[in-house]
Copies of this chain bind each other. A is one copy, B any other.
Amino acid sequence: MRQAGSTSSPWVSRRDRAAERQSKRDAVLRTAVRFFNAQGFHATSLDDVARALSVTKPTIYHYFSNKDEILFECVRLGLETIRDATEAAHADGGPARDRLETFMREYALVMTRDFGICVTRTSDDQLGDESRAKFRALKREINEGLQSLVEEGMRDGSLAPGNAQVVAFTVAGALNWIARWYRPEGGLSAQQVADNTVATLIHGLIPRAPAS
């Protein structure tokens, strides 16, 4: 630690205290999410996490009030990244299809990273009542954003007509699934996976004449 603040002076503490606390909180989350992804939430004890950080369990309780909060913070970090991308996709101009494609690519990339992976591995029965409600709300928000983007595209003709809800879930499923199979050490980079998946969804499985 002792990573100093803006000016590097021995008189660390003023506003830096808060920053240091935050950085330790983050460290707990980063460590916890790896365990959750590797072993599952229930199979991970806070002692595991503590040990990995060379501290003890009560220390963790100094930063979080319970295990639930830790899990929720993990999924929140993943979900908020995606939600921000949804909002960006709506704000941008241009044909809906292009905005959708950009969004999908971003979504896919999140799914190759720890917090994104945690989102799809977490089912709401693992969370307490209040966290579960927030978790669901965030997911719904994202899904509605995706679906409305699809609807827009169907309206403006840049997307093929169909059932927007099913299409949105199909896209979400294909993208979420990346979190379940992607391995960084495998042959493909995250970017390649994202590009290929998005291309498959956009163009479909059967051949198509060169012109898009």
B-binding residues in A (CB < 8 A)? 39-40, 42-43, 97, 100, 121, 123, 125-126, 150, 153, 157-163, 166-167, 169-178, 180-181, 188, 193, 196-197, 199-209, 212
Alpha-carbon gap, A126 to B169, bound state (A): 26
* A203 engages B200 (CB within 8 Å): no
Alpha-carbon gap, A212 to B209, bound state (A): 10
* B208 engages A205 (CB within 8 Å): no
- In the complex, the count of this chain's copies comes to 2
Main secondary structure on A side of the interface with B: helix
Query: Which of B39, B161, B173, B202 is in CB contact (< 8 Å) with A180?
Result: B173
25 residue pairs bridging A and B, Cβ less than 8 Å apart: A39-B125, A40-B125, A42-B126, A121-B123, A153-B205, A157-B207, A159-B205, A160-B205, A160-B207, A160-B208, A161-B207, A163-B188, A163-B196, A169-B181, A170-B197, A170-B200, A171-B174, A173-B175, A173-B176, A174-B177, A201-B205, A203-B204, A204-B204, A208-B208, A209-B209
CB distance from A127 to the nearest CB of B (A): 10
* B201 engages A203 (CB within 8 Å): no
* B199 engages A162 (CB within 8 Å): yes
* A160 engages B206 (CB within 8 Å): yes
